[in-house]
Amino acid sequence: MFPMNQITKLTSIVTDSHASPTAAIIFLHGLGADGYDFVDIVTHMQLPSQLGIRFIFPHAPIRPVTLNNGYTMRAWYDIYSLNSLNKEDQEGLFQSEQAIILIIEELQAAGILTSRIILAGFSQGGAMALHVGLHYPQTLGGIVGLSTYLPLATHFKAEAAPANRHTPIFLAHGHYDNVLPYKLGETTRDILQKASYPVEWHGYPIAHESSAAEINDIGRWLQKILL
């Protein structure tokens, strides 16, 4: 746990599908993007307004990224290499984790139950969604990881929170992903399934991106979770 003065309060784009939302989806963008990257997903999923969802699209902090020669960009944590994930930025991961937990706590204060909060993300944002969701001490409504991987996988079994052992998880990956290979997604799926997590897995004929078919499948999954 980090002192509060070391935790960055994230700015976010917020949109409500209902005047009195009773559920929330926190969607975390990928490396170098920002919260606007997936705002259009709200319309494309065509979720019924009666679900009463608050969509939150946070902007990651700006930090130097070793992979990109130290260039500063929005990133949830530093990345040293995509060829080997043996060295990971634990401090950056944990700082972003605490910042995302602040958003969850704000939603709770607004009257939204954690069991109605979905953590979702793409690429590095998907890694954060998995990391936070699997370690969070209260039961969440669901976790969505798109074109991503499980960070700190060697610590996972010992540190995962019992509260989310039965939380539904939607994982998807592109067959032609040239940034995070499809095999990495399969490995994440296998780790979670071996630990008996309820994973719904999808592969799509796409690269490191989203597709209409993927978004439609997410929409159907969310309705199943939230209705």
Integer Cα distance of 213 and 227 in angstroms? 21
Give the DSSP letter string of 77-110: S----SS--SS--HHHHHHHHHHHHHHHHHHHHT
Whether the predicted pLDDT of 3 surpasses 80: no
Architecture of domain 4-226: 3-Layer(aba) Sandwich (3.40)
Per-residue pLDDT, 150: 96
Task: Pick the catalytic residue from 115, 208, 211, 217.
Answer: 208
175 is catalytic: no
Region 100-122: mean pLDDT is 97
Q: Indicate the average pLDDT of the chain.
A: 93
Task: Pick the catalytic residue from 123, 131, 173, 210.
Answer: 123
Per-residue pLDDT, 1: 45
78 is catalytic: no
- Enter the pTM of the model: 0.94
210 is catalytic: no
Whether the CB-CB separation of 5 and 53 falls below 8 Å is answered with no
pLDDT in tens, 148-176: 999 999 888 889 999 999 999 999 999 99
Region 191-214: mean pLDDT is 97
